[in-house]
């Protein structure tokens, strides 16, 4: 496999070949008519061995220029399958050159691969014989010129930024890391479980959750309805009451008079109709915009789920139910936190890999976390090296060395108490956040441990119980919990995990200590009531792993569609 090839091996083996002879082949895209550019120029020979083959390629013009006084044009074509471009040569007799050379133009062309003149950088180029389709661009309006653009600028064009070299490289690296994650856990006997996005329990107990409700929608519908059909006035209701009285009097008079039953029945029918009109007016008058109330509080029994519901901050609690029934499991999906944070490491929507291992302890948990991180880093070195070289050239020249350090070096393991003691002795740096036992280590502390003191990944374990969630197992000292964080250079905390508190009385005490309502966690406590098992697990911030792997500084640039305070484009 050529370096930088991120297509899964299974897909690679089943590719469709377009052959000139048995010795040379080019791989056509699955379920499409084009040949991915990577299968041409990411070969060890740069594609030179494919000269003479006829192929169809498609992609977007990175740069284009007319040459020979408008007789032909050079196009640098990229289809996102790799970082490199394919040089395409078009004669004016094949297509109008003016509509082809603008950056952003999409073309699908058929032609013959040929070796370029000696001394040129390319190993292969395409001479176009036929244009299949063209998606034109107005160069005066296209928002992504071929000049170098900042990542911050590109956040305003989330829908177009995948066409840039950087974002497409990040996308391929993200794809490779996701594939590596699934491969790692599948190879180690884990079961992939889909946990719910909507939940009624708060895993972290922080209360910073996005609420899911239809009550506001219902309120808006009511307001629109009342705007179209305003509630009746007091005068209308009084008039309706008078009609009822009149119809009642009429019925009473008819009953006293000697009239037929048919006349009385007709009068009663009119009275009944008048009462119905009055009842509807009175009911409509009661309709007032506002959320349903009960005992002075919002009545969530009227909501869609008949109770309060939220976007999940973690799939951990739910995935534990499967760990306590089917063995080692993992989940991989989006999570949500309603923190008004604008730091370079936080998003409102982000992806987490979370695992649970039954019959395991904290040491097993740390071993798995270390192996997982090493596996992902080695996967990038083996399968994504051309994209990693692009990141090293353009963003962080040390990024490949960091990957190699992670794969080749045992992680340092240190207790929280010892880590704090080391940080308290630091004299060559003044921390913004004071170091003392009992604090939650800040990013600056985590990075100092990994980048200065140990110069490699560090696992800190046995944290104070006061700064950790209720579900972490309390140690015998009753001051710390069996928790661990995996810290990496550049990003700080990547993984947070622990042994889970499997003792029923102990976890009930923790819920009480933290002021949480036990009712939403009764199902979770059942795992301790019925066949309890000692187990451990962790959650990895997948987007932070991509920060570490790419060398990019802001997490908003490593996720396809970033959501953060004030922004939720697309």
Residue 295 and residue 405 share a domain: no
Residue 391 CB: number of other CB atoms within 10 A? 23
**Residue 313 belongs to some domain of the structure:** yes
Structure token pair of residue 569: 């484009």
Predicted confidence at residue 305, as pLDDT, reads 93
**Average pLDDT by consecutive 10-residue portion of the chain (570 residues)?**
41 42 68 94 93 96 94 96 96 94 96 91 94 94 89 95 96 98 98 94 72 86 77 86 90 84 88 90 76 85 91 94 97 93 89 98 98 98 96 96 96 98 94 95 96 97 96 97 97 97 96 90 95 97 97 96 92
Q: Which of 302, 337, 358 is the last residue of a domain?
A: 302
CA distances from 45 to 42, 87, 385 (A): 8, 16, 16
**Cα–Cα nearest to 267, from 281, 280, 254:** 254
- Domain of 369: which CATH number? 3.30.930.10
CATH of the domain at 36: 2.40.50.140
- Examine the fold and report which residue of 110, 143, 176 is the final residue of a domain before the chain moves on: 143
Predicted pLDDT of residue 1 = 37
Longest CA pairwise span in the chain (Å) = 120
Secondary structure (DSSP) of 114-164: EPPPTT-S-S-EEEEEEEEEEE---TTT-S--SS---HHHHGGGTTTGGGS
482 alpha carbon, distance to own chain's centre? 29
**Together in a domain, 337 and 397:** yes
- Report if residue 228 sits inside a domain: yes
- pLDDT value, residue 99: 92
User: pLDDT tens for residues 44-91?
Assistant: 999 999 999 999 999 999 999 999 999 999 999 999 999 999 999 999
3-state secondary structure labels for all residues of 477-539: CCCEEEEEEEEECCCEEEEEEEEECCCHHHHHHHHHHCCCCCHHHHHHHHHHHCCCCCEEEEE
Report if residue 547 sits inside a domain.
yes
In a shared domain, residues 399 and 473:
yes
- Is 493 inside any structural domain? yes
Q: How many domains does the chain have?
A: 3
Q: What is the chain's Cα-based Rg?
A: 33
Whether 26 is covered by a domain: the verdict is yes
Residues 291 and 315 in one domain: no
- 339 and 319 co-located in one domain: yes
For the chain, helix (H) and strand (E) counts, in that order, are: 16, 20
129 with 233, same domain? no
Q: Are residues 345 and 442 in the same domain?
A: yes
Per-residue model confidence (pLDDT) at position 144 = 92
Comparing CA positions, the residue from 474, 480, 482, 464 lying closest to residue 362 is 482
pLDDT value for 258: 76
Any domain includes 69? yes
Query: Same domain for 173 and 251?
Result: no
The reported pLDDT for the residue numbered 121 is 85
Q: Which of 246, 267, 302 is the last residue of a domain?
A: 302
Using a 10 angstrom Cβ sphere, with 0-12 exposed, 13-18 middle and 19 or more buried, the burial of residue 85 is buried
**373-431 residue pLDDT tens:** 999 999 999 999 999 999 999 999 999 999 999 999 999 999 999 999 999 999 999 99
Is the domain of 395 the same as that of 526? yes
Same domain, 59 and 174: no
**Tokens 């969630």, residue located:** 469
Range of the domain at 466: 167-212+308-557
Q: Are 334 and 478 in the same domain?
A: yes
**Does residue 2 sit within a domain?**
no
Place of tokens 């109770």: 307
Its pTM surpasses 0.85: yes
**Based on the domain organization, do 345 and 408 belong to the same domain?**
yes
Residue 150 in domain:
no
Q: What angle do CA 491, 467, 545 make, to 5 degrees?
A: 20
Angle between helices 385-394 and 542-550 (to 10 degrees): 70
Please tell me the predicted confidence (pLDDT) of residue 206: 54
């Amino acid at each position: 496999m050529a370096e930088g090839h991120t297509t899964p091996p299974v897909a690679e083996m089943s590719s469709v070949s377009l052959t000139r002879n048995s010795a040379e082949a080019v791989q056509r895209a699955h379920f499409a008519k084009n040949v991915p550019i990577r299968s041409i120029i990411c070969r060890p020979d740069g594609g030179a061995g494919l000269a003479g083959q006829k192929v169809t390629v498609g992609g977007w013009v990175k740069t284009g220029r007319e040459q020979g006084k408008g007789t032909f044009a050079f196009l640098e074509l990229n289809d996102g399958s790799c970082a490199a471009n394919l040089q395409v040569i078009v004669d004016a007799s094949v297509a109008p050159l003016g509509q082809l050379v603008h950056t952003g133009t999409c073309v699908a062309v058929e032609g013959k691969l040929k070796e370029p003149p000696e001394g040129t950088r390319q190993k292969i180029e395409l001479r176009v014989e036929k244009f299949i389709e063209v998606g034109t661009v107005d160069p005066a309006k296209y928002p992504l010129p071929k000049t170098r653009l900042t990542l911050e600028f590109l956040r305003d064009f989330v829908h177009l930024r995948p066409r840039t070299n950087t974002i497409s490289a990040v996308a391929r690296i993200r794809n490779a890391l996701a594939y590596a994650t699934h491969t790692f856990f599948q190879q180690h006997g884990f079961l992939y479980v889909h946990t719910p996005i909507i939940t009624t329990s708060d895993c972290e107990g922080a209360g910073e959750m996005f609420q899911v409700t239809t009550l506001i929608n219902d309120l808006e519908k009511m307001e629109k309805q009342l705007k179209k059909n305003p509630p009746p006035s007091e005068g209308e209701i009084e008039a309706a009451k008078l009609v009822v009285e009149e119809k009642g009097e009429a019925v009473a008079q008819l009953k006293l008079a000697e009239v037929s039953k048919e006349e009385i029945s007709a009068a009663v029918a009119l009275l009944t109709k008048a009462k119905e009109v009055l009842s509807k007016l009175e009911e409509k008058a009661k309709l007032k915009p506002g959320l349903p109330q009960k005992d002075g509080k919002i009545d969530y029994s009227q909501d869609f789920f008949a109770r309060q519901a939220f976007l999940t901050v973690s799939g951990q609690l739910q995935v534990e139910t499967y760990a306590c029934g089917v063995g080692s499991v993992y989940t991989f999906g989006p999570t949500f936190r309603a923190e008004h944070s604008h730091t370079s490491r936080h998003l409102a929507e982000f992806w987490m890999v979370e695992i649970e291992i039954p019959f395991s302890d904290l040491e097993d948990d740390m071993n798995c976390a270390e192996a997982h991180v090493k596996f992902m880093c080695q996967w990038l070195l083996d399968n994504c090296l051309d994209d990693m070289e692009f990141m090293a050239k353009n963003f962080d020249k040390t990024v490949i060395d960091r990957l190699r350090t992670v794969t080749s070096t045992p992680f340092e393991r240190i207790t929280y108490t010892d880590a704090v003691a080391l940080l308290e002795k630091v004299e060559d740096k003044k921390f913004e956040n004071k170091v003392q036992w009992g604090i939650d280590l800040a990013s600056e502390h985590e990075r100092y441990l990994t980048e200065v003191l140990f110069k490699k990944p560090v696992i800190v374990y046995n944290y104070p119980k006061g700064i950790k969630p209720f579900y972490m197992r309390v140690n015998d000292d009753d001051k710390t919990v069996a928790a661990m964080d995996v810290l990496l250079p550049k990003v700080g905390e990547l993984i947070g995990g622990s042994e889970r508190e499997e003792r029923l009385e102990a976890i009930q005490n923790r819920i009480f200590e933290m002021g949480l309502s036990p009712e939403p966690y009764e199902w979770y406590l059942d795992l301790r009531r019925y066949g309890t098992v000692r187990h451990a697990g962790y959650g990895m911030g997948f987007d932070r792993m991509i920060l570490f792997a790419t060398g990019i500084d802001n997490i908003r640039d490593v996720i396809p569609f970033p959501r953060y305070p004030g922004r939720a484009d697309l």
